[in-house]
Structure formats: C-alpha cells, structure tokens
Structure 1
Amino acid sequence: MSNKKTDSILSNKLRRILAIAYITILLGGSGLVILDSLVISRSYLSFSNETTSSSSNSSNKASVSTSTAYEDDYKKVTIKTYERNSTKIYVAFVTLKKNSSIKSALAGETYGKNVTDTTSNIASSVNAVLAINGDFYGARNAGYVIRNGQLLRSESQSDDQEDLVIYKDGSMKIIKEGDVTAEELLDSNAYQVLSFGPALIENGKVAVDSSDEVGKAMASNPRTAIGIIDENNYVFVVSDGRTSESQGLTLKELAEFMQELNVTTAYNLDGGGSSTMYFNGQIVNKPTTNGNSIKERAVSDIVYI
C-alpha cells in the first residue's frame, strides 16, 4: 500500500474520530448516551445462524417457485397483497410441514448491541425463502432474547413488557415479562422469544387498547407483524408507509387487519424504516425511513422460513 493511500485512510479515520469527539463535547453527557445507544457497536457473543446447505437444497427441490409462491417438502408460502386504509399490505401465508420451524438469524452471526445488517443480506446468508425484520433487540439493553432455543438475554424490560413466545411445537403465546423469567420460558421449550410489541391479537380478539395507541402508535407508519392462524399455519405481514402510495397503519388498524386474516395470536414487531419482507431472493415491499428514498434499514435480526 502506498504512503499516499495510507495517509488518506488515516486522514479519513482522524476526521471521523474528531467529528464524533466534537459532537460528544457539543452535547455533553447526553452525546455519550446517544452514541452508545445508536452508534457504538458491541459484540457480546458469537451466534451460529442455522444455514440450509446447498446439498440439502438439491435433495429438496421446490415443486413450486414463483414471485408469489413457493412449496417444497417442508414448507409452503404464498404471498398476497392487500390495500387497507390507503396502505399496501403484504401477507405471506405460511404452512410448515415435516417438523419445520420458524427460525431467527442475527446480523453478522453475533449477539450484540448495534450489530446490524439489512434484512435481505441476513436472509440471503441463511438461504431463507421468506424473511421479515425482527424485534431489533440490539437497540435495547433489556427485554428477553431467546433465539433458536438459545437464551441470549434474561434481563426484563419491565413487568408489563409483552413478548411473543414461539415454542418448539410451533405454537405461539403472548406473555408478560413480570409473570415469568426467561429461564422458565427456556425450560418450557420456548424456541423464539421476541420482545417488541405490543400484542395485536389474543384468543382471536384485538388486544390493542387506548394505552397502546399513543405517540408513534397512533401515527400511520410502516409495520411488521407475525401471527398464527391454527396449527402449522402462520402469517408474516409487512405494510408500507410514509409514501404517496401508502400512508401506513396505526397499531389498531394493523390489529384489525390481522383479525381479518383469522389469526388467533398476533404480535407487532419493529416497524418504520425497519419494515421489510424478503421472498425468493427479492424485497417484496418498499422499505423507507423518511419517504424520500426506498431503502432498507440495517437491523439486528430477522425471523425467517
């Protein structure tokens, strides 16, 4: 490497360090908090994402594979598009077969803080047929995290924090962290625990109330949700928003739509610019943070088939 190129790299690094230092000094202690919460990445634990090998793919060829449908010996996925409340909503109807399960994958195969990648990149790395963004666990210091049967975080966010538990048998349940520990959930065969929320549907009824409909929840935004209709039949849902084509959904509107799909349990995941659906190698929706450009936001994790 030439001295000129080395000097250029060092100069860029120095400018970045000085810029961060300047912002920190300008904002004082709050600047450190902002940097720690949103910028500085920390790796806590290596996490091996489960990957479908090319050899197993070749022995399990899809009988159907189009832009809106996929089926093989283990799963069936059908993509449908709806429009409600001046918003496009994309629904993946999923049927799992032969003991298949809903899986999770982490950015960079790392459990940590602010360790991120796009939904499509993470999905591609594990050969996912279908994926949606998860709960963005890495933006918070608390809230239960169990992924693919591994306990990664046991600190409770609050007693009232509603989590979605996906058990090894494929069933789903909404729990409150004040009612059960993460260790107890693991002992009861929890396979995934997602801690964003709130619950949208419980026992087939809308679970969102006026206390949930505050701030951004009342506003129309891109949304991501997951739900179960009955045994082995699920829906992965993503809505667009913040564009001239799609205004987005409130939490109540999302819950009412999930009820329309006849789900018995449904849960709200990270939304806004994170909301992304990936299917058969393509991004299905139009992810956007500010409405000015269509671009994925990097996230901590995905939920996938």
Structure 2
Amino acid sequence: MKKRLKHSLIAGGIVIALTATGGTAWALDRFVIPHVVVGDVAAYEAEQSASATPAATDEDDTTQALTEPVTTDTTYTSDDASIEITQYTQGSGDDTVTYYVADLDLSDPTVLRSAFANNQFGENITALVSETAEANGAVFAVNGDYYGFRDSGIVIRNGVIYRDEGAREGLAFYTDGTVKVYDETETTAAELVADGVWNTLSFGPALVDDGAIVSGIDDVEVDTNIGNHSIQGEQPRTAIGVTADGHILIVVVDGRDPGYSRGVTLTELADIMVSLGATTAYNLDGGGSSEMWFNGEVVNQPSNGGERATSDILYIAAG
C-alpha cells in the first residue's frame, strides 16, 4: 500500500491539511511556490505614473471607549505627515487586551503608500514587514491585506492597477483623503482609478460604516480560494479607519498571550475603532501577521513570537 503523504501549509494564518501526492503538488504550486507577475514594481509604477492622465477626485449606535491611553510610545512629524502611536490596555489577568493605535495626520493622502514584498507582485511572494519597510525607506509600516494569498480581489496600489478580479467587500482610499467601503463586484479597477482611487484593500469585513458598527460581523467568514475560513473569536487583529476630520487610524491588537493580551473579537475591534472616532473602519489580515513597525523596531508583540512574512505593507516614508 502506498504511503499517504500529509502536508500542512500555513498561509496568512490559515492552516491547510492536504493528503496524497497530487494534492500536495497542487498546494505547493498554489500556496508556496512564488508566481511573479510584475518583477520590478518600482519601475512598473514609475512607467504607469508617467503615462497616466490626472484622475478626478471625489469631493445611531452608541459605544463606550474600551480603555484610556496608558503611554504614548512615540511621535513623528515631517512636512507631509504627523504620526502618534499610543499603547492602550484594558482588563486584567487573562482578560487583558493590549493594542496599539497609530494616528496619522497627512497633509497629502498619497503619503500613505503600499509596498509589495521583494518589490514584486504576484502570488506567494513574502518578506518580513521590517524588510519591506526598510527596502522602501519607511519610518512607519503595518501589515496589509496579504493580497498574495488570493488570486481574486481588486488590487490598486499607489494609483496603479495590479489586479481586477472583484470578489468581496473592499476598502478604497482616494487621492482627496476620502475612504470608502465598496462592493468590488459592482465596479472595475479602471473606474476606481478614474474616480481618484489611490489604494484598495481586499480582506474585510467592514467594521464601521457611517460611524456605526456594522451588524453581523461576528458571523463573517473570509474566502480563501479553497472555501471560507472563520476569523471569529478572540484573535490578534489589524484594522484601518478614518475619522470625521480625515485622520487615518491604524490599530494593531496583540493576542494569544493570556495575561498580556487575549486578542479581540471583530465586534470588540469595531468598538475600539468607534471609540477612537472612526467613521469608517475595515478589518485587515490578522493573527500572526498583525504587526506595527516604527523607526526600525517592531512596536507590538506578534503572536508568532516574532515577525511573520507577508505579501504587502502600508507605510509612510521617512521625510
């Protein structure tokens, strides 16, 4: 009798168990072997930007703040951006939750940029957040949506279209500072860019809309190309949102470490965002991928015990 080979893969925090040689070969190709579509992202974006035509731009739940700030870890100011990072802690014992909030005040919304691991676009291309940040001269960075684990979703980064396969609820950042949740299946990447979209994120779900927590988020699953995957329970999380006065809020919640931080549910994450003043907020890749990096150091404590390689980051370049 032939031996059955079991191979376990971890991609974006999702564990996939596969059996049989054929299944393993398929899984290695789909989730492990890099597939490079754009080999030099920097050159590609420069080429696209040079040929682009200037785009047009767009012109009651009650929640209680989960905690008060404990310490302000650091701040940064340049001509284009002001960054303030604050650590928050709530609860005690095994119920303790620790999270970090980056408040970004940007004079130019396009200062918030995206970068791909290894300066390449495609599937299964990863690098540590710190490596991608340093390669792009960042002063601040956070994990993105792990676009490279999927072959679907609209991917627009730094005003350039990389993928146009609408599949889910996405988040769009416009060049005028507007941030909107949208249905990828009801538009195209070209239409979004024509309307002034600078970056899109494709993970989800939306957490806050028009200042209110979105209903039903505790039942949401994330599609992974091989079926839906539960992202419920108390987990490390990363979320991004915008306030009424245009500040970008990025929250990284640590987890899986009783006594330091248990993690949060999606509803708790939404409550954090509302308590901070977010009018729109969106869930990004979490688990061991959740990481905030500033000025050469990892700010939070990733649940893996160290950084996990991811496919993309959002960052602010040093001024």
Contact 2:236–2:288 (CA under 8 A) maintained in structure 1: yes
Tell me the amino acid that sits aligned with residue 267 of structure 1.
Y
The structural deviation recorded for 1:136 is 0.4
Corresponding position: 1:187 with 2:215 = no
AA partner of residue 176 (structure 1) = D
Determine if the alignment matches structure 1 residue 235 to structure 2 residue 256. Answer: no
More helix by share: 1
Q: Between the two proteins, what is the percent identity of the paired residues?
A: 41
CA contact (8 A) 1:208 1:255 kept: no
Aligned to 1:75: 81
The AA in structure 2 aligned to 1:222 is: P
Letter in 1 for 2:297: Q
TM-score normalised to structure 2 length: 0.77
Between structure 1 and structure 2, the one with the greater Rg is 1
**TM-score of the superposed pair, with normalisation by structure 1:** 0.80
Q: Which residue of 2 aligns with 1:274?
A: 289
1:298 maps onto 2:313 in alignment: no
Amino acid aligned to 1:300 = S
Cα distance in 2 between the residues matched to 1:35 and 1:264: 41
Contact 2:73/2:87 (<8 A) preserved: no
CA distance in structure 1 between the aligned counterparts of 2:311 and 2:145, rounded to whole angstroms? 8
Within 5 A, what are the aligned runs for 1:84-95?
A: 84=90, 86-95=96-105
Q: Which residue of 2 aligns with 1:131?
A: 141
Instruction: Give me the whole-angstrom Cα distance separating, in 1, the residues matched to 2:144 and 2:110.
Output: 19
SS in 2 for 1:68: strand
Question: Quick one: structure 1 residues 232 and 129, their matched pair in 2 at CA, closer, same or farther if it must change by over 3 Å?
Answer: farther
* Cα deviation, residue 130, structure 1: 1.3
Q: Distance in 2 between matches of 1:124 and 1:208?
A: 38
Unmatched 5+ stretches in structure 1: 1-20, 52-65
Equivalent in the alignment of 2:106: 96
Code of the aligned partner of 2:20: L
Displacement of 1:26 after TM fit? 5.8
Q: CA deviation at 1:216?
A: 3.8
SS of 1:122's equivalent in the other structure is: helix
**Structure having the larger proportion of residues in strand:** 2
Give distance in 1, aligned partners of 2:115 and 2:130: 11
Gaps of 5+ in 2: 9-17, 47-71, 222-228
CA-to-aligned-CA distance 1:166-203 (integer Å, 9 cap, x gap): 01112100001122122211211111011000101111
Farther off after superposition, 76-85 or 114-123: 76-85
Q: Assess if the C-alpha contact under 8 Å between 1:74 and 1:100 holds in 2.
A: no
Q: What is the aligned partner in structure 2 of residue 258 from structure 1?
A: 273
Q: Which residue of 2 aligns with 1:28?
A: 21
The one-letter code sitting in structure 2 at the alignment partner of 1:257 is I
1:231 Cα offset (Å): 4.0
Structure-1 separation of matches of 2:96 and 2:7: 40
> Equivalent residue for 1:163?
170
Counterpart amino acid of 1:90?
Answer: Y
1:186 counterpart letter in structure 2: V
**What value does the CA root-mean-square deviation take over the aligned residues?**
2.4
Structure 1 stretch displaced more, 164-173 or 176-185: 176-185
